[in-house]
Amino acid sequence: MAHIQVIVGSTRPGRVGRNVADWFMSQAQIPAGSTVEIIDLADINLPMLDEPKSAMMDQYSKDHTKSWSQIISKADGYVWVTPEYNHGTSAVLKNAIDYLYKEWAYKPVAFVGYGGMGATRAIEHLVNIASELRMFPLKSRYHVLDVWAAFNNDGSIKPELVRGDASSLLSEVTKVSDATKSLRQ
Protein backbone atom coordinates (compact mmCIF):
# COMPACT_ATOMS: atom_id res chain seq x y z
CA MET A 1 0.00 0.00 0.00
CA ALA A 2 1.59 3.24 -1.17
CA HIS A 3 1.19 6.57 0.54
CA ILE A 4 1.54 9.44 -1.95
CA GLN A 5 1.96 13.10 -1.04
CA VAL A 6 0.85 15.85 -3.40
CA ILE A 7 3.01 18.86 -2.47
CA VAL A 8 1.68 22.31 -3.36
CA GLY A 9 4.72 24.39 -4.30
CA SER A 10 3.46 27.97 -4.06
CA THR A 11 2.63 30.15 -1.07
CA ARG A 12 2.22 33.60 -2.54
CA PRO A 13 -0.98 35.63 -1.98
CA GLY A 14 -3.53 35.08 -4.73
CA ARG A 15 -1.90 31.81 -5.77
CA VAL A 16 -3.79 29.14 -7.69
CA GLY A 17 -1.52 26.23 -6.74
CA ARG A 18 -3.90 24.82 -4.14
CA ASN A 19 -6.80 25.13 -6.59
CA VAL A 20 -4.77 23.22 -9.20
CA ALA A 21 -3.87 20.51 -6.66
CA ASP A 22 -7.49 20.19 -5.54
CA TRP A 23 -8.67 20.00 -9.16
CA PHE A 24 -6.02 17.40 -9.97
CA MET A 25 -7.18 15.29 -7.02
CA SER A 26 -10.82 15.64 -8.06
CA GLN A 27 -9.91 14.22 -11.47
CA ALA A 28 -7.73 11.37 -10.19
CA GLN A 29 -8.85 7.91 -9.25
CA ILE A 30 -6.73 6.83 -6.31
CA PRO A 31 -5.30 3.35 -6.95
CA ALA A 32 -6.79 0.62 -4.76
CA GLY A 33 -4.94 0.20 -1.49
CA SER A 34 -3.16 3.55 -1.77
CA THR A 35 -3.61 6.76 0.15
CA VAL A 36 -3.01 10.31 -1.02
CA GLU A 37 -2.67 13.48 1.02
CA ILE A 38 -2.11 17.07 0.00
CA ILE A 39 0.80 18.84 1.70
CA ASP A 40 0.46 22.59 1.27
CA LEU A 41 3.71 24.47 1.81
CA ALA A 42 1.66 27.48 2.91
CA ASP A 43 0.63 25.42 5.95
CA ILE A 44 4.15 24.12 6.61
CA ASN A 45 5.65 27.64 6.66
CA LEU A 46 9.34 26.74 6.46
CA PRO A 47 11.76 29.67 6.74
CA MET A 48 14.51 30.04 4.17
CA LEU A 49 16.97 27.21 4.69
CA ASP A 50 18.63 27.82 8.03
CA GLU A 51 20.23 24.49 8.92
CA PRO A 52 23.94 24.94 9.65
CA LYS A 53 24.87 21.54 8.17
CA SER A 54 24.13 20.00 4.80
CA ALA A 55 21.02 17.83 4.64
CA MET A 56 23.26 15.02 3.40
CA MET A 57 24.72 14.80 6.91
CA ASP A 58 21.29 14.03 8.42
CA GLN A 59 22.04 16.17 11.49
CA TYR A 60 19.06 18.48 11.73
CA SER A 61 19.18 21.07 14.51
CA LYS A 62 15.93 22.98 13.94
CA ASP A 63 12.52 21.77 15.11
CA HIS A 64 10.88 22.85 11.86
CA THR A 65 13.35 20.71 9.90
CA LYS A 66 12.73 17.69 12.12
CA SER A 67 8.99 18.15 11.69
CA TRP A 68 9.34 18.52 7.91
CA SER A 69 11.49 15.40 7.82
CA GLN A 70 8.81 13.42 9.67
CA ILE A 71 6.11 14.59 7.26
CA ILE A 72 8.10 13.74 4.12
CA SER A 73 9.37 10.43 5.50
CA LYS A 74 5.79 9.12 5.66
CA ALA A 75 5.44 9.08 1.87
CA ASP A 76 6.36 6.38 -0.62
CA GLY A 77 6.12 8.75 -3.58
CA TYR A 78 5.24 12.30 -4.52
CA VAL A 79 3.47 14.57 -6.93
CA TRP A 80 5.08 18.01 -6.95
CA VAL A 81 2.67 20.79 -7.99
CA THR A 82 4.65 23.72 -9.36
CA PRO A 83 4.11 27.11 -10.93
CA GLU A 84 6.71 28.47 -13.32
CA TYR A 85 8.52 31.62 -12.28
CA ASN A 86 11.17 32.92 -14.70
CA HIS A 87 11.66 29.53 -16.39
CA GLY A 88 12.08 27.69 -13.07
CA THR A 89 10.19 26.35 -10.11
CA SER A 90 9.17 28.48 -7.14
CA ALA A 91 11.70 29.41 -4.48
CA VAL A 92 9.47 28.00 -1.75
CA LEU A 93 9.31 24.56 -3.37
CA LYS A 94 13.06 24.49 -4.01
CA ASN A 95 13.67 25.60 -0.42
CA ALA A 96 11.42 22.84 0.97
CA ILE A 97 13.20 20.25 -1.16
CA ASP A 98 16.66 21.50 -0.12
CA TYR A 99 15.92 21.11 3.59
CA LEU A 100 16.07 17.31 3.25
CA TYR A 101 18.08 14.64 1.47
CA LYS A 102 17.70 11.00 2.54
CA GLU A 103 13.95 11.42 2.97
CA TRP A 104 13.54 11.84 -0.81
CA ALA A 105 15.83 9.00 -1.89
CA TYR A 106 14.57 6.05 -3.94
CA LYS A 107 11.06 7.43 -4.22
CA PRO A 108 9.19 8.28 -7.41
CA VAL A 109 8.02 11.79 -8.19
CA ALA A 110 5.62 12.97 -10.88
CA PHE A 111 4.75 16.53 -11.75
CA VAL A 112 1.75 18.84 -12.06
CA GLY A 113 2.63 22.19 -13.59
CA TYR A 114 0.62 25.33 -14.19
CA GLY A 115 1.35 28.59 -15.95
CA GLY A 116 1.29 30.07 -19.41
CA MET A 117 2.84 26.92 -20.90
CA GLY A 118 1.93 24.51 -18.10
CA ALA A 119 5.22 25.03 -16.24
CA THR A 120 7.11 22.84 -18.70
CA ARG A 121 10.46 24.48 -17.95
CA ALA A 122 9.88 24.44 -14.19
CA ILE A 123 9.21 20.72 -14.39
CA GLU A 124 12.43 20.13 -16.31
CA HIS A 125 14.20 22.08 -13.55
CA LEU A 126 12.63 19.76 -10.96
CA VAL A 127 13.57 16.62 -12.91
CA ASN A 128 17.25 17.55 -12.53
CA ILE A 129 16.82 18.27 -8.83
CA ALA A 130 14.98 14.99 -8.24
CA SER A 131 17.70 13.04 -10.03
CA GLU A 132 20.36 14.57 -7.81
CA LEU A 133 18.34 13.49 -4.75
CA ARG A 134 18.38 9.87 -5.99
CA MET A 135 14.67 10.03 -6.71
CA PHE A 136 12.90 8.50 -9.69
CA PRO A 137 11.44 11.39 -11.72
CA LEU A 138 8.64 9.96 -13.82
CA LYS A 139 7.67 10.92 -17.34
CA SER A 140 4.06 11.43 -16.26
CA ARG A 141 3.04 15.06 -16.40
CA TYR A 142 -0.16 16.99 -15.84
CA HIS A 143 -0.14 20.53 -17.24
CA VAL A 144 -2.63 23.35 -16.80
CA LEU A 145 -1.99 25.79 -19.65
CA ASP A 146 -2.85 29.50 -19.65
CA VAL A 147 -3.66 29.21 -15.96
CA TRP A 148 -5.04 32.76 -15.76
CA ALA A 149 -7.89 31.78 -18.11
CA ALA A 150 -8.14 28.13 -17.07
CA PHE A 151 -10.70 28.34 -14.27
CA ASN A 152 -14.45 28.35 -14.75
CA ASN A 153 -16.65 30.33 -12.34
CA ASP A 154 -17.35 27.17 -10.32
CA GLY A 155 -13.63 26.56 -9.71
CA SER A 156 -13.29 23.75 -12.23
CA ILE A 157 -10.62 23.89 -14.89
CA LYS A 158 -11.48 24.05 -18.58
CA PRO A 159 -10.60 20.62 -20.01
CA GLU A 160 -9.18 22.12 -23.20
CA LEU A 161 -6.43 23.76 -21.10
CA VAL A 162 -5.33 20.52 -19.41
CA ARG A 163 -2.72 18.14 -20.77
CA GLY A 164 -2.29 14.79 -19.03
CA ASP A 165 -4.33 12.24 -17.14
CA ALA A 166 -4.51 12.53 -13.36
CA SER A 167 -5.44 8.89 -12.75
CA SER A 168 -2.64 7.55 -14.95
CA LEU A 169 -0.14 9.82 -13.20
CA LEU A 170 -1.14 8.61 -9.73
CA SER A 171 -1.18 5.02 -10.93
CA GLU A 172 2.39 5.33 -12.22
CA VAL A 173 3.63 6.90 -8.98
CA THR A 174 2.01 4.06 -7.03
CA LYS A 175 3.40 1.31 -9.27
CA VAL A 176 6.94 2.66 -9.15
CA SER A 177 6.63 3.23 -5.41
CA ASP A 178 5.64 -0.39 -4.89
CA ALA A 179 8.37 -1.65 -7.24
CA THR A 180 11.12 0.31 -5.46
CA LYS A 181 10.01 -0.28 -1.87
CA SER A 182 12.89 -2.69 -1.13
CA LEU A 183 15.39 0.08 -1.97
CA ARG A 184 14.00 2.22 0.86
CA GLN A 185 14.24 -0.43 3.59
Per-residue confidence (pLDDT) for residue 155, from 0 to 100? 84
Weakest-pLDDT range from 31-40, 86-95, 121-130, 143-152: 143-152
Domain ranges of the chain: 3-184
d(CA 170, CA 6): 10
Per-residue confidence (pLDDT) for residue 185, from 0 to 100? 87
The proportion of the chain whose per-residue pLDDT surpasses 90, expressed as a percent, equals: 94
* Residue 52 pLDDT greater than 90, yes or no: yes
* Residue 59 pLDDT greater than 90, yes or no: yes
Q: Count Cβ atoms below 10 Å from residue 47 Cβ, excluding itself.
A: 10
* Residue 56 pLDDT greater than 90, yes or no: yes
CATH fold for domain 3-184: Rossmann fold (3.40.50)
Give the residue among 90, 95, 140, 92 at the shortest CA–CA distance from 115: 90
Taking CA 38 as the corner, what is the angle to CA 122 and CA 101, rounded to the nearest 5 degrees?
60
Specify the DSSP element, H or E, that contains 169.
helix 166-179
- Is 157 strand, coil or helix? strand
**What is the rounded average pLDDT of the residues 83-93?**
97
Give the residue among 23, 184, 36, 9 at the shortest CA–CA distance from 111: 9
Buried b (16+ CB within 10 A) or exposed e, 56-95: eeeebeeeebeebbeebeebbbbbbbbbbbeebbbebbbe
Residues 6 or more apart from 57 whose CB is under 8 A from it?
A: none
Taking CA 134 as the corner, what is the angle to CA 95 and CA 129, rounded to the nearest 5 degrees?
40
Q: What are phi and psi of 110, to 5 degrees?
A: -115, 175
* Residue 106 pLDDT greater than 90, yes or no: yes
- Enter the pTM of the model: 0.96
* Residue 1 pLDDT greater than 90, yes or no: no
